[in-house]
Amino acid sequence: MRKKFILTTALSLTLALTGAGCSAERRSTSSEESNTETTESTAQENTQETETAESSLSETDALESDGEVNTGDTENTADSQTDTSAENTQDTEGNSNILIAYFTAGENSDVDVASSASVTTIDGEAKGRLRAVADMIQSVTGGDLFSIQTEVAYPGDGGELIDYAAQEQDEDARPVLTSHIENLDAYDTIFVGYPTWWYDMPQAMYSFFDEYDFSGKTIIPFNVHNGSQFSGTIETIQELEPDAQVLEDGFTVNENDVADAQDDVAEWLEGLDY
């Protein structure tokens, strides 16, 4: 009888220990699965956030489009500064009452335009996309070209430019401009071109509008984007220049379509009253 009791007790203890071990194993497995799911979910969220940030600016609209490659070639930087400095002076050979002002990262970068990763080629010439559209406008209107340029060069690498543009916006920066309109009074109509960065104009454009009083003049915006188009920036210009006539019918084109935009630009200009 005592042996039977001992055997029964031992069997009960064995079953209890086995059950406890299984429960612990199930809890461990469940914890590992939960940790794995949490890690995968966090990684997916981080990936989505990165893709969202890159998409927002590739409007490039981060580089809006105007060229960035990561290179430490200081000679290219010097060449770029020299080449674009000649463009700081307006081309006064055109229609003297029309100015075509534009900001492009390709002419404000720490690499030269020809080395940039994001440019368009027209008639065998590589150029920043905003400059390409400005040239198209000039070919129809005969206006003078004016490149808006900054004292500090923008990063040539696309990822770095995205971060730099975001930081400028967070700080509400006003980059120092090195190019200046020689005789604003000579112009009645100002075409103003810029990319869309983080759903806004580059901060250099705020410096541009702070510097000049366009009262009594007609401002016609044009824009290169990667999906967000003007993104409310025409209204911003109206607020910055309340005494100017800012046309709401601006021209905006996706960065991938710039090379073939000449006919669209001509048709747009034909319908304007300026």
Q: Residue 256: is its pLDDT beyond 80?
A: yes
The residue ranking higher by pLDDT, 146 or 67, is 146
Same domain, yes or no: 30 and 152? no
Q: Residue 236: is its pLDDT beyond 70?
A: yes
Beta bridge partners of 109: 154
- For the chain, percent of residues with pLDDT exceeding 90: 51
- Between the two ends of the chain, the Cα-to-Cα distance in Å is 113
Q: Do the Cβ atoms of 130 and 64 come closer than 8 Å?
A: yes
- Tell me the two tokens of residue 102: 């534009």
What number of residues does the chain have?
274
pLDDT for 9 = 40
pLDDT digit string, tens, across residues 185-219: 999 999 999 999 999 999 999 999 999 999 999 99
Q: Which domain holds residue 30?
A: 1-57
| Separation CA 178–CA 176 (nearest Å) | 7
Report if residue 261 sits inside a domain. Answer: yes
Same domain, yes or no: 117 and 50? no
Total number of domains in the chain: 2
CATH number at residue 241: 3.40.50.360
Same domain, yes or no: 81 and 116? yes
pLDDT digit string, tens, across residues 160-185: 888 999 999 999 999 999 999 999 99
Strands 120-122 and 125-127: antiparallel
Going by pLDDT thresholds of 50, 70 and 90, the confidence category of residue 45 is very low
Q: Residue 17: is its pLDDT beyond 50?
A: no
Q: Identify the helix (H) or strand (E) that includes residue 101.
A: strand 95-102
The residue ranking higher by pLDDT, 229 or 58, is 229
> Rounded to two decimals, what is the model's pTM?
0.69
pLDDT for 228 = 87
Same domain, yes or no: 232 and 117? yes
